[in-house]
Structure 1
């Protein structure tokens, strides 16, 4: 299960016993950091943590002090500066060379409950946008934690849109680019976040080699559907982690299978005739990614028999990255890695050969000036004194 899914599941399990639980959200990153804006960690009343906001260097300190920072029930933004060369930074396991802003909120507050309910809705649809104030001037009329939510159907929840001047254009950009951003408005600074639905993966073929593909995809939090025409193979018992297991009907192979423009499709049926029937219909659905198991000449022959030129379609065949995989598990890693690279628009090369930053810089759109965090909100330490804060 992915991070957000695990947090939402924990919230449902807690029910009315969530008093004292704190939700930590990375709302801005400047410089290098392990996690990006939108990363979350839920700190349960018994001290357990679900999710992560760094590579492990901040979680302990944040978890230990989260209840104190939010003791009055109000949200709090903490700033962790890991860019210092001081020995204390390295002593506490930091040194990521960046600044991380973390929003802390009590899980029991109505605003947070509504926000998580909105996330549930987004994950079951095509996504959405949420905006939360992280800094504000005293007379701005805004408070840290104020929110608005934009649903895919155009619905707005959480407040009065007229109070958020000029925000609509930033929301449109966020939806179009599928990227979160920090926005400066009159008297406040707002984290505008794209809430993405889980990546959808459809696997045609329920053989032994499809099991690790489905398993690895679920570890990434993807929504996985497995399709096969053999009832003995297409069973939940063989694919316990899959969201759906569908027995394919020969006369209508895509019946009950949703393939949209953001869907990734893997064909691994090991059945040439069946692949021929499937391929035309899958191509007509125009998925985001289509990969086929087997050598390149097999795919070329299938396309030729359908009267389709290889150059006119984007079919990954043979599927996967060249990592020398020979086992079903290794081949699954190769397949999922290629899909991830394709979805991210990356070449799938070694990071040590990359000449630019690993992560795209955080978007700052007209960041508001003159909005320092109140003294009570800024860590006493600026890192070195974390343990004394």
Structure 2
């Protein structure tokens, strides 16, 4: 028996929404499984971000489950057909439960991304750290009314899913507030996608690796686009054929939810894919000569990309050179000689504390990491 035969209200935009949501859910779940594997067996970085990500995944999964039930009972199909087959009650009930979990999942996902970037950034850039905290707090605070409004649109509350009491409901305030919160969510997604690119661009690492990581980590922009579309689609809640129009809102809502989880999981699972990226990474060694690169901002920040380090120290700065805070991003190697970029919880490193050795041939290195840390301006003065 087909779904159309078992669920007579199933149809319209519903089947497409169903297939897309399940496909994205499978991909996101695989990524989350890899994140847990990396955390348990490969490194100890990102525990807080992982916990937030698991919470977001759980809420998004609940959203998807009730969304599937909504689709089976008419979401995405025309309201007249739903009423004809007597599924209006089930459609309303499952749809509003879906909206409830959606309003919980969206801000949780934003907080999870911010938490990861905060751990990755460490104390290296206080402005970025504060802005990430602000994004997380803003999304939580603004979505609290959104969650509560779902249950206060009708008097009594049970009228929300009662087909005979729909005249006792007023969805306008909820929809108008959705426009505001949706705009904040879209801006948050775009900002959270740009921040990691900002961290990577100044680094003098292999260009393919740099732009590849920048693209993957910047895919969160697509979640921002999805947030814009689903915010626009909220207007269909007030339309006469609401069940059909809300199918658009649901489709772009699930795209936004799952894309946030997928894109935020790309950097943490990088160690798993590192062995397969050797051919895309250019060697920084020419013969027996080892290189070290220093990149300085004009602002009071600099970025040091440390690959295979030279025995000598960086050239001393001239007298009177202003104190500089250094953000160190170290690229270490694993035993098999591959280079990668994975965050670490190690502390601050001063440039003149580098140990001159060939990391590509040091078997003691078993993990790979990236370090983003503050360096005391006084310690940054190198001795000639």
The TM-score with structure 2 as length reference comes to: 0.30
Q: Which structure is higher in strand share?
A: 1
- Greater percentage in helix: 2
TM-score, with normalisation over the residues of structure 1?
0.29
